[in-house]
Amino acid sequence: MSQDTSDKKFVTLTDHATGKSYDLPVLSGTVGPDVIDIRRLYADTGYFTYDPGFTSTGSCDSAITYIDGDEGVLLHRGYSIEDLAENSSFMEVCYLLLNGELPNADQKKEFEHTVTYHSMLHEQMMNFYRGFRRDAHPMAIMVGVVGALSSFYHDSTDVNDPHQRMVASYRMIAKMPTIAAMAYKYSIGQPFVYPKNELSYAANFLNMTFSVPAEEYKISPAVERAMDRIFILHADHEQNASTSTVRIAGSSGANPFACIAAGISSLWGPAHGGANEAVLNMLNQIGHKDNIPEFIARAKDKNDPFRLMGFGHRVYKNTDPRAGVLKQSCHEVLEELGVDDPLLELAMELEKIALEDEYFVQRKLFPNVDFYSGIILKAIGFPTSMFTVLFALARTVGWVAQWNEMITDPNQKIGRPRQLFKGHDRRAFVECKDR
């Protein structure tokens, strides 16, 4: 029951076992649901809350990204993802996420220069790659190499020093494309390609990925624009699983490189960022639109672990606004590249059939950000194993922005959830001979 008898809002919790009532403060943000402040709940009532998967739990204050799942709204520092994807650039969005405002011309020039001039890796880091098998999944390489950055850049690991936090933040945003491109090159046995300072962030990444010493890689402006837009669409997304992983790792005071490596690990899962790779594998498994009904039936069968990858979302119960932008980019890129990928037609047919099926409609399972991204990435020339690497590359700025916000939040302390214990109560030890 919510009351507002003074300027403070609160709800009253009544314990019918004891008849005691407790007033719990209600806190309001700028926009979105109010929250019930339960920080004193255990101390005052002896109860924990119970919320596996944190479906109803706010873990922090944040001013970076706002999502309205029912309305399909995604705002970064107040700007809609549609506006940013249409009118901005990934470098501008990085500045916005980190600093709270879009950069003016001078700020943008300085930010891009700083990122560009930190895109090279310590030469000795190349040795890490040679320790991996050639067929290692690029995400395994990303986790290892990003975590190892802390073994090289000791001058930016003190999380209490604002300057070192800023240096580490720039280093990760700047070096992630180089690390990702090197992971790809290593997996196909081609030589590493160094960054070129005259190229844009997206063009630099494409060049490091696809150029070879034998010939220049011709960068299509449409592909460069699509790459930049894909980075924008994946930059940040509130307190998703990987961002929450980065925050809880950072809450112990772990160095920023280790926290981002933890985020990469969480993103890798097929229920999260790994879904873009899983979507392509699923479309190839379906093979032809005549087979769609069989797979829709499997997705609905509780005894079958198969799920329609790229569909559903913990928060969006309307469309994922990013999917709409990506669907449009899909058509543009495939047309520009003259690619007639039957998988796009299959994906659109699958979307159409799924969205007419009561099971998906009733559960509000719409295509999410991962549904169309893989088709564009495949058209550009990336293997499916690199799809989640690109997601991690783009999400690094979101992780870094959220990590900085967590470190400087006076309300934050080490993340340490409790549990509902269902194991044995205390019991006497039994010798092996008596078991």
Which chain residues interact with ligand SDX by CB under 6 A? Answer: 237, 240, 271-273, 275, 299, 307-315, 363, 365, 368-370
Cβ within 8 Å of residue 68, ≥6 positions away: 32
Cβ within 8 Å of residue 134, ≥6 positions away: 186, 187, 189
* CA gap 21, 8 in Å, rounded: 17
We find the least distance from the C-beta atom of residue 152 to ligand SDX, in angstroms, to be: 28
Residue 108 or residue 317: which is nearer to ligand SDX going by CB?
A: 317
Residue 40 or residue 363: which is nearer to ligand SDX going by CB?
A: 363
We find the least distance from the C-beta atom of residue 86 to ligand SDX, in angstroms, to be: 19
DSSP secondary structure letter of residue 47: P
We find the least distance from the C-beta atom of residue 368 to ligand SDX, in angstroms, to be: 4
Residues 241 and 315 sit within 8 Å (Cβ to Cβ) = no
We find the least distance from the C-beta atom of residue 318 to ligand SDX, in angstroms, to be: 13
Residue 47 or residue 54: which is nearer to ligand SDX going by CB?
A: 54
We find the least distance from the C-beta atom of residue 222 to ligand SDX, in angstroms, to be: 24
* CA gap 399, 244 in Å, rounded: 9
β-bridge partners, 75: 66, 80
We find the least distance from the C-beta atom of residue 315 to ligand SDX, in angstroms, to be: 6
* CA gap 360, 319 in Å, rounded: 12
Residues 311 and 352 sit within 8 Å (Cβ to Cβ) = no
Beta-sheet strand order (sheet of 65-68): 65-68, 73-76, 79-80
Catalytic residues: 313, 370
We find the least distance from the C-beta atom of residue 271 to ligand SDX, in angstroms, to be: 4
Q: Which helix (DSSP H) or strand (DSSP E) does residue 24 occupy? A: strand 20-27
Angle, helix 201-210 to helix 90-99, in steps of 10 degrees = 120
Residue nearest to ligand SDX (CB): 312
Collapsing DSSP to helix, strand or coil, 331 comes out as helix
Cβ within 8 Å of residue 237, ≥6 positions away: 65, 67, 74, 243, 395, 398
Residue 219 or residue 278: which is nearer to ligand SDX going by CB?
A: 278
Residue 27 or residue 271: which is nearer to ligand SDX going by CB?
A: 271
Outline where 58-137 has alpha helix (H). 81-87, 90-99, 105-116, 126-129
* CA gap 109, 209 in Å, rounded: 25
Residues 367 and 350 sit within 8 Å (Cβ to Cβ) = no
Residue 219 or residue 350: which is nearer to ligand SDX going by CB?
A: 350
Residue 266 or residue 404: which is nearer to ligand SDX going by CB?
A: 266
